[in-house]
């Protein structure tokens, strides 16, 4: 997964896969989910990211948390 921020457009983008988007759905609140040919998400865009305090211009810090599930 890659994370990009476009300061001119003020868009925070999570690229989940490198597949080209075939369809996109704009969800309420300025979130756009793009889907690949297989119907699975390829990216998620957050519009007006700095206004919504998702990111501060000049600073990018991303923390990924994974949950492990124990079998047994």
Q: What is the pTM of this model?
A: 0.75
| Six-digit token string for 37 | 């040919």
Burial class of 33 by CB neighbour count within 10 A (0 to 12, 13 to 18, 19+): middle
Q: What is the pLDDT of residues 13-30, one digit of tens each?
A: 999 999 999 999 999 889
pLDDT in the model for residue 59: 65
> How does pLDDT run across 62-72, given as a tens digit for each residue?
555 555 665 65
């Amino acid at each position: 997964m890659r994370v990009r921020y476009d300061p001119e457009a003020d868009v925070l983008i999570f690229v989940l896969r490198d597949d080209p988007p075939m369809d996109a759905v704009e969800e309420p609140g300025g979130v756009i989910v793009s889907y690949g040919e297989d119907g699975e998400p390829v990216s998620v865009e957050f519009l007006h990211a700095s206004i919504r305090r998702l990111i501060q211009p000049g600073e990018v810090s991303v923390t990924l948390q994974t949950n492990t599930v124990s079998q047994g």
